[in-house]
C-alpha cells in the first residue's frame, strides 16, 4: 500500500506527464513540493527542473522576485537560477527552472574534503557576483526558513565547457528594497540559525525588524567559515551559544 507521500508523488508525475513532459527522475523534495528532471519538446532547453507544489503552498512572492531578476534574459546573471515559467492547475502549481547538473554546494561541503584556496576563492567570487546582481535589482535575499547556505547554491557544468558555475536558487522569501539594497526594510525572523544575521536572530519570530543587504553578507561569511573549517564558530543547535 502506498504512503501519502508516494501517492502525492504519483499524482505529481501524472500531472507532468499529462502536460507532455518526459520525466527522468526526481531530483529533490521538501516540505512544500518535489522537483523532477524533465524534458518537453516545446522548450528550447533539453532538460529543465520542474518543481511541483500544492496551490496553497505556492508563494507568489517567489515568482514575482524571480521575474524581477529575469526581466531581461540577455542581462540575467549566470550565477542565479532562472525561472522559465509557472502554471497553476486545479490542485498544484508547476514551476519550470533551469537545471543544474552537479547537485548543490552542500553536497561538496559534506564530503569533508579540504578544498584548495583557489577553488574557495572562485566559489566565493561567483556567489558574490550572484548576490551583487540580486542586490542591484533592489532585492534582499532572505529565504523562507533558510538563508544563503550550501543547500541553496546549485552547481552546473555546461556541456563541453569543463567549467563549474555556481547558481543561487530558491527565491521564496526575497524582499524588494525598492532598488536600494542599502535601504533598511522590515523583515521577520526566518532562516537557519547557523547562517542567520544577529539582528534577525535576536528578533522574535513573530516580530519584524529592520535589515538591509548586510544580512546576506553575514550568511555568506558563515558559509565561507563552514567551507574552510567544516564546522561553525558556534554550536548551531544551541541558541544560547549563538
Domain 4-98 belongs to what topology? Phosphorylase Kinase; domain 1 (3.30.200)
Domain positions in the chain are 4-98, 105-229
Strand partners, 98: 48
**Whole-model pTM?**
0.77
The answer to whether 87 is annotated as binding is no
List CB contacts of 81: < 8 A, sequence separation 6 or more.
Answer: 97, 98, 100, 154, 167, 168, 169, 170
72 belongs to the catalytic site: no
- Name the active-site residue from 72, 147, 170, 199: 147
Give yes or no for a contact between 153 and 195, defined as CB atoms under 8 angstroms apart.
Answer: no
DSSP lists the bridge partners of residue 140 as 175
Please report the pLDDT score of residue 94 as a whole number: 92
CATH fold for domain 105-229 = Transferase(Phosphotransferase); domain 1 (1.10.510)
The pLDDT score that the predictor gives to residue 136 is 81
The predicted structure's pLDDT at residue 92: 95
Identical fold for domains 4-98 and 105-229, yes or no, is: no
Predicted local distance difference test score (pLDDT) of residue 19? 97
The gap between the terminal CA atoms of the chain, to the nearest Å, is 44
The low-confidence residues of the chain, meaning pLDDT below 50, are 141-146, 172-191, 207
Q: Is residue 30 within 8 Å of residue 65, measured between CB atoms?
A: no
Residue 213: the pLDDT is: 62
What's the pLDDT at 149?
84
pLDDT tens digits for range 110-125: 988 899 999 999 999 9
Beta carbons of 84 and 137 less than 8 angstroms apart: no
Amino acid at each position: 500500500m502506498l504512503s501519502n507521500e508516494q501517492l502525492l508523488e504519483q499524482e505529481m508525475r501524472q500531472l507532468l506527464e499529462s502536460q507532455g513532459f518526459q520525466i527522468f527522475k526526481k531530483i529533490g523534495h521538501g516540505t512544500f513540493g518535489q522537483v523532477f528532471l524533465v524534458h518537453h519538446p516545446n522548450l528550447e532547453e533539453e532538460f529543465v527542473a520542474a518543481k511541483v507544489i500544492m496551490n496553497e503552498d505556492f508563494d507568489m512572492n517567489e515568482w514575482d522576485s524571480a521575474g524581477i531578476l529575469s526581466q531581461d534574459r540577455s542581462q540575467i546573471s549566470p550565477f542565479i537560477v532562472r525561472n522559465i515559467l509557472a502554471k497553476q492547475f486545479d490542485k498544484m502549481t508547476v514551476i519550470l527552472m533551469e537545471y543544474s547538473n552537479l547537485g548543490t554546494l552542500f553536497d561538496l561541503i559534506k564530503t569533508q574534503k579540504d578544498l584548495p584556496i583557489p577553488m574557495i576563492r572562485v566559489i566565493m567570487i561567483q556567489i558574490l557576483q550572484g548576490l551583487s546582481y540580486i542586490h542591484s535589482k533592489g532585492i534582499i535575499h532572505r529565504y523562507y526558513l533558510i538563508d544563503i547556505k550550501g543547500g541553496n547554491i546549485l552547481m552546473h557544468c555546461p556541456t563541453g565547457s569543463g567549467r563549474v558555475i555556481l547558481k543561487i536558487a530558491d527565491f521564496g522569501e526575497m524582499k524588494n528594497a525598492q532598488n536600494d539594497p542599502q535601504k533598511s526594510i522590515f523583515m521577520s525572523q526566518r532562516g537557519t540559525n547557523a547562517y542567520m544575521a544577529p539582528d534577525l536572530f535576536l528578533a522574535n519570530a513573530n516580530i519584524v525588524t529592520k535589515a538591509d543587504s548586510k544580512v546576506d553578507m553575514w550568511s555568506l561569511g558563515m558559509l565561507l567559515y563552514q567551507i574552510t573549517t567544516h564546522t561553525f564558530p558556534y554550536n548551531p543547535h544551541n541558541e544560547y551559544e549563538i
